[in-house]
Chains A and B, each alone.
Chain A
Amino acid sequence: MRTRDPFSDSEAVRGLAREIAREAEELEARLTIMEVCGSHTHAIARAGLRSLLPEKIRLISGPGCPVCVTPVDWLDHAIALVERGDVILSSFGDLMRVPSSRRTLEEIRSEGAPVEILYSPRDALKLARSRPEKKIVFLAVGFETTAPTIAAALVEAEAEGLENFLILPGNKTMPEPMRLIAGDPEIAVDAFLLPGHVSVITGSDAFEFLARDYGLPGIVAGFAPTDVLRAVLEIIAQGKHGEAKIVNAYGRVVTREGNQAARKILDEVFVASPARWRGLGEIPASGLDLRPELAHRNAALLPVELPEPIEPPGCRCGEVLKGMIDPPECPLFGAPCIPERPVGACMVSSEGSCAAWYRHERWRNMESGR
């Protein structure tokens, strides 16, 4: 009934799956592939791709779901800001259900706190123009793809003299946590499925270090089912020949150098800073903080009272994010931790590994349908 993009073509998907099955037979050991990007996690689950892959291929999710890696106290900070009374929070929908130490943004919104769900940071500028008496604070999360859009909104606000637009800095960058994972002897990752839309900005060269420093293959992949399967096929081919190369399999939008205009704006607005990742701890130079010249746009500098952060006890998001355990191995998975009442952040977004497992995989290992 629908005309749908040809990259999801079912004949091609089946052809690729068959080719993968054939090629994987010749593999000596099981191949563990980490998709670092939450959109890959989502796309793999949504297209049911795990069910098409042979036993020898194991897909695990990495730390690339922005809300999953946002630390508890950062959310506490966001909530404290709105409690000042002169702030309207604006956010992507993704963040609304992430647990803080006490409540979620969705909960404080239902109690009457001003929290606006926006599609674009630019919409926050519009909001700032229409509510000059309030400070409009945009909750800046997301990786290299999203950070330039927030930077661009800040540049626009500066040019226009729009005083009441601020951000709570929380953007992060991908390569550093990947370096951590690649270098961790406890984490057995054989290859990376590299984040397609992050690479649009950074360029595929930004991931060369994986092959060079750690001897690991990495494939820049798009998000259609055939994109993911082609990447898996390439990884198997490299595995068979003992190669480790960075390959751009998403050439229709990704170049080696990335988007120069976006990287320039990013540099104008942000500086690399240490950042805390939920589950991974503090990682040097993995966050984007506002440049000192833009301190007047930094909502983190507004005085607020912060509660003592409380991490959800028993949550094993950290190990899930590093691919050390599959979500069902967490004792809280499914009870009490479910998407409606997430204990940890990995159960929130449909990109979170725990939520993706809960929605899409839990039936496969069950005795009966109910």
Chain B
Amino acid sequence: MKIPERILLAHGAGGRLSHELIEGVFLPAFSNPELESLDDAAILPELPPGRLAMTTDGHVVDPPTYPGGDLGSLSVNGTVNDLVMVGADPLYLSWALILEEGLEGEKLRQHVESARRAAEEAGVTIVAGDTKTVPRGRGDGIYAVSAGIGVVPEGRRVSDRRIEAGDAILLTGTAADHGATIMALRHGLEGPGLHSDCAPLNHLIGELWKGGIDIHAMHDPTRGGIATTCNEAASRSSLRFLLSAQAIPIAPGVYAVCEILGLDELYLASEGRALIFLPGNQSEAALEILHAHPQGRDAASIGVVLPAEAGHAPVELETLSGSLRPLDMLSGMDLPRIC
């Protein structure tokens, strides 16, 4: 079965071309009995014991391909990570694409291939899928929508309500790599150190669970970055978070991109990092586990949780000059600030 040269509207219409697309592109990539039955819905084998977790996510990214990833891997990892962040072990995903008429078949194949690889790396199975097409000029080439289910084993309770004063805040790697890479690409900047951190987090976080770490809460700082994610968690927990600029690991290239384009690294997305809230006295042990894993080499303790205090913002940063700066939520998109 061959790959179409360009996507036509009919590829999403359910007729023969749709079938060709499924058999030529999707089935070869995601072969598994649940998907291959091609029924209206996948019937899953019995799940391991625990509470069921489910999530869904839409994905748009401009440009759709960038150093370190593309829409295919981003959509799979994003859904995997959403499950991991609530303490679940991710198991099954659905994956739907919306394609703009005229998209090159080869580009589609690349996104499918990287989705396949991402699923394999995370150890999840894609059991259902769909493709729709929109007329040329009505889409941005390719969009993805993914949903996933996983199981939270007995004994894991991950919730912002468990965050308490005295908790440490860990970040599992350098901040803002994904967001800075995308912004750099859009504005003509390049550098060997710039690539997305997009990755599945289940193996890394699994090590912490195995090591007996009592994770209170977890978030992946995607849109809006560390600052926005911390604000959301702080408002749900009614506590005060104090972060240290000195402690937040940032790749030098990322820092340079932010300086040049007038962006703030604390507001740019990561796609393969977690912010972890855990008891302060487990911080050392957790860091040791993280550092031993290739994905967690740069992990660091970046802040502490304190009781709320009058005159202080819910999230503050101790700047490099030693002063305190309130960190607000991101308002709107982060735009380069030049003039």
Contact = CB atoms under 8 A, between A and B. Distances in A.
- Is any CB of A less than 8 Å from a CB of B in the complex? yes
Interface of A: 1-4, 8-10, 13-14, 42, 45-49, 51-52, 66-67, 92-94, 96-97, 106, 117-120, 123, 141-143, 145-146, 225, 338-340, 349-351, 358-360, 362-370
Contact of B308 (A4, A47, A370): A370
Contacts of A370: 235, 238, 308, 314
Contacts of A367: 310
Interface centre among B240, B262, B333 (most CB of A within 10 A): B262
Contacts of A46: 319, 325
Contact of A340 (B261, B313, B320, B332): B332
Contact of B322 (A10, A142, A350): A10
A93 B336 contact: yes
Given A2-B245, A369-B308, A369-B313, 19 more contacts: A1-B249, A2-B246, A10-B322, A14-B321, A47-B325, A48-B325, A51-B323, A92-B336, A92-B339, A117-B335, A118-B187, A119-B188, A123-B188, A141-B339, A143-B339, A350-B337, A358-B328, A363-B313, A369-B314
Contact of A1 (B187, B250, B333): B250
Contacts, number: 123
Interface in B241-279: 245-250, 252, 255, 261-262
Interface residues of B, number: 40
A45 B327 CA distance: 11
Nearest to B246: A1
A10 B321 contact: yes
B215 interface: no
B187 A47 contact: no
A51 B333 CA distance: 28
Contacts of A92: 336-339
A84 to B, nearest CB: 19
Interface string B206-247: 000000000000000000000000000001001010000111
Interface centre among A49, A66, A119 (most CB of B within 10 A): A119
B190 to A, nearest CB: 13
Contacts of A120: 188, 338
Nearest to B252: A3
A333 to B, nearest CB: 15
Nearest to A3: B252
A146 to B, nearest CB: 5
B300 A119 contact: no
B316 to A, nearest CB: 8
Q: Which 3 A-B pairs have the closest CB atoms?
A: A93-B335, A48-B323, A142-B339
A339 B321 CA distance: 26
Contacts of A4: 255, 320
Nearest to A126: B188
B325 A360 contact: yes
Nearest to B316: A363
15 contacts: A2-B245, A2-B248, A4-B255, A4-B320, A8-B320, A93-B336, A106-B332, A118-B187, A123-B188, A145-B339, A339-B332, A363-B326, A369-B308, A369-B310, A369-B313
A1 B320 CA distance: 10
A47 B339 contact: no
Interface string B295-310: 0000010000000111
Given A1-B300, A360-B326, A94 B339 contact: yes
A349 B333 CA distance: 12
Contacts of A359: 326, 328
A94 B337 contact: yes
A4 B250 CA distance: 11
Contacts of B309: 369
Contacts of B308: 368-370
A10 B244 CA distance: 13
Given A93-B335, A340-B332, A1 B247 contact: yes
B331 A47 contact: no
B51 interface: no
Contacts of A51: 323-324
Contacts of B313: 363, 369
A366 B312 CA distance: 8
Contacts of A363: 311-313, 326
Contacts of A119: 187-188, 261, 336, 338
Contact of A48 (B262, B314, B319, B335): B319
Nearest to A347: B331
Given A351-B337, A370-B235, A370-B308, A340 B331 contact: yes
Interface centre among B238, B248, B335 (most CB of A within 10 A): B335
Nearest to A351: B337
Contacts of B319: 46-48
B188 A2 contact: no
A3 B252 CA distance: 8
Nearest to A369: B308
A127 to B, nearest CB: 12
